[in-house]
Structure 1
Amino acid sequence: MIEAPGILLTLIAFVAVIGPLVFVHEMGHYLAGRWFGIKAEVFSIGFGREVAGFTDRRGTRWKFGWLPLGGYVKFAGDMNPAGQPSADWLALPASERAKTFQSKPVWQRAIVVAAGPLVNFLVAILILAGFAHFYGVRYAPPLVGEVVAASPAAAAGLRAGDRIVALGGRSVESFADIAQYAMMRPGEAVRVDLLRAGRPASTTVAIGTLKQRDRFGNEYRIGRVGIGSPPVEYRPVSVLRAPVEGAIQVVAIVRGSLDAIGQIISGRRSVEELGGPLRIAKVSGEQMTLGWPAFIGLVALVSINLGFINLLPVPMLDGGHLLFYAIEAVRRRPVDGQVQEWAYRGGLAAILALMILVTFNDLASLGLWRNLAGLIG
């Protein structure tokens, strides 16, 4: 059994995961803005008081904040949270105003905002493409290799040799699709469409629940159907094909994230499973002890989630800005500044509430509340 990493290694691993991903995210915004002639006044990694920094010849202040939980790029003219033209902006000379974010057409502003999350997805695609090229892609057809006795599959009448074509109305292309779908839905009853001896059939399976504990003591609740995989093959992947495989895996992970959000909203999955920076730090240290492949795989996963979360249509996030730009494009005029201001305040309140919740969950996963209860008892 591998012992849990110490605090120092955990901190190093956390910074090694979050720091580069925040940098490339903000670099996406910066480069897109520079492409369209927008002046960047500040490029910050971290929030709060500046620890170190310098100003380049273009007048951009590059700095590190003391709280390494994010970052931002402040473009010229960005004088309010909603990014709306103000009296101060109108007072700028025309030559300076032309270099501000607000002066650009809505499609350029949308590209600048979307560039950050898209770069995060690109990083993940490149990492997963590298794994696909150097290790190959594991593949098994969506066939039932065997049926475990007294399992949900046996109760549903599944047989060895059945070819599963859809689960819950979602088509499957490989055995991995079956495993991923079931893993995300413990305790749910789903429709199974299949081919048996070439003839279509269907049944309903009540996915079982399995609690697992990894070598670090983390517990997971996952779904299991109770079928064995057919023979697995590792297919080599060319350099040209590798990015496609990487993109396919990114799409699958994003779809899993959407499924998880839907389950939390509908109450089928507990909000206790939501994690924040402390849990990311804990997992980062654990994955670093398992070796570089595991650690780099975690970087890809966090990069995907960073891009995905930022695209959610929540004011204060990139997705919230994109939502307002979409409305502006349809209406041919921006949303009223006061409406945006209140929306961003509400978005900020929602994000702060979520941060409190995930921090509470993170502390629970570290055993703080259990230990306090033991002391009090």
Structure 2
Amino acid sequence: MRTGQSDEFLSKTKWERFQVLIMGPVMNMLLALVLTVAVLYGGIDVPAYEDQPPVVGVVMMNSAAERADIRPGDRIVSVAQRSVKTWEEFFIAIGGRPNREVSIEILRDGKILNRRVTPDTATGQARIEYGEIGVFPNVHPHLLAISPGEPGERGGLKIGDVILAVEGKPILFHSDFREVIASHPDKPMMVSVLRDGSSLTLSVTPRHKGSIGYLGVTPVDETKSIKPSAVEAVTMSLKRNAQYAGLIFQTIWGLITRETSPKQLMGPLGIAQLSGESAQLGWMALISLMASISLNLGLLNLLPIPILDGGHIFIMALEGLARRDFSTRIKEKMLLAGFVVLMMLMVTVIYNDLTRISWIERLMPWR
């Protein structure tokens, strides 16, 4: 309600009100920028293949890529008519399209080929769904440490061994190897390794440790360390946040065009669960998550939905175009519409959060 007091919000000029409204989202984005700079300046380890061209090294059996005739050696050129130059860009592009058919261009023998692929749905941290077609770079984990007297050492494994496959199934990441070990308690398995440039196959038998198998080895993925200067950290932070912002807007547009599933959205319960998982990984992972949340809040608050800061700015812009202020009644109706949209969105994300909690999901017979 407008009282006419000189210090109240509605008594200010449109420019002054715009400055007040825009500062919240701007501070959110600045916080994301600063937190990302702090993480980068402290030094981080990233997958060695992350910034490499997406040349297919492995195609998983019975995967979406295999069904679409994508083969090892193919160079992925674009996803959904958007150029991808690195594996990181490719995984981001595919990750946002679970169960949604997408066009993928590949380069094979000097020719550009088009493939229609429907990414399978995979589940990551906090049971968040993402798309995956089953192609990966030609990477394998190596053994960083081996416990004396444990099955790994007795089976002939050595520090530095590169794990190629188990029982003929390719091992791409350390998590793959850990899963196989855990599922083979007291069961011999054939492990193919690369040692000093030569391939060999060893028979090892994980022992029981609780209810899972245990070898006594520490597999790690191939990574590279990044330790930028302060200026480089700022530049990298700007670039990363710009990429994430583009991904956020792409997701929003995908929701509007129905190319992105609402199941990918996360609410307060999901954020709390993801925060707990990130905290277990260390402070850097938690700070990175905080930066991502802050950027999301800043950008989402700029959406032209009445009741949000962006909605108020949108209404002022319409008033500027109309060269008059709207009546209180019209503004109330616009704000009510915005409130309904936000409530629908809130119900959706909370429902998504609940379905990611196993015991609650079991109470939903329709799922």
With structure 1 as the length reference, what TM-score do the two structures score? Answer: 0.64
Relative to structure 2, which stretch is displaced further, 279-288 or 358-367? 358-367
Q: 2: distance between equivalents of 1:271 and 1:341?
A: 28
Match among 105, 108, 133 for residue 225 of structure 1: 133
Three-state SS of the structure 2 residue aligned to 1:141 is coil
Match among 279, 286, 302 for residue 277 of structure 2: 286
In the alignment, is the contact (CA less than 8 A) between 1:143 and 1:230 conserved in 2? no
Q: 2: distance between equivalents of 1:278 and 1:177?
A: 28
Show structure 1 runs of 5+ residues with no match.
Answer: 1-79, 81-85
Cα deviation 1:210-265 (Å, max 9, x = unaligned): 43365xxx434322233322677555432112222212222222333333334444
Q: 2: distance between equivalents of 1:126 and 1:368?
A: 38
- Give the equivalent residue in structure 2 for 1:276: 267
In the alignment, is the contact (CA less than 8 A) between 2:39 and 2:287 conserved in 1? no
Cα deviation 1:64-110 (Å, max 9, x = unaligned): xxxxxxxxxxxxxxxx3xxxxx3x21xx4xxxx1x443343323322
Shift of 1:359: 3.1
Q: 1: distance between equivalents of 2:359 and 2:30?
A: 37
- Give the equivalent residue in structure 2 for 1:124: 32
- Give the equivalent residue in structure 1 for 2:182: none
Alpha-carbon RMSD across the aligned residues, in angstroms, is: 3.0
- Give the equivalent residue in structure 2 for 1:115: 23
Match among 350, 357, 361 for residue 366 of structure 1: 357
Shift of 1:153: 3.4
Structure 1 residues 168, 352: closer, same or farther in 2, change over 3 A? closer
- Give the equivalent residue in structure 2 for 1:168: 80
- Give the equivalent residue in structure 2 for 1:146: 57
In the alignment, is the contact (CA less than 8 A) between 2:60 and 2:66 conserved in 1? yes
Matches within 5 A, 1:184-263: 184-196=96-108, 199=110, 201-212=112-123, 218-229=126-137, 234-263=225-254
For the pair shown, the structure with the greater C-alpha radius of gyration is 2
Matches within 5 A, 1:275-354: 275-354=266-345
Show structure 2 runs of 5+ residues with no match.
Answer: 140-222
Q: 2: distance between equivalents of 1:305 and 1:271?
A: 16
Identity %: 29
Amino acid at match of 1:212: T
Q: 1: distance between equivalents of 2:45 and 2:135?
A: 21
Q: 2: distance between equivalents of 1:313 and 1:373?
A: 35
Amino acid at match of 2:232: R
With structure 2 as the length reference, what TM-score do the two structures score? Answer: 0.65
Q: Number of paired residues?
A: 278
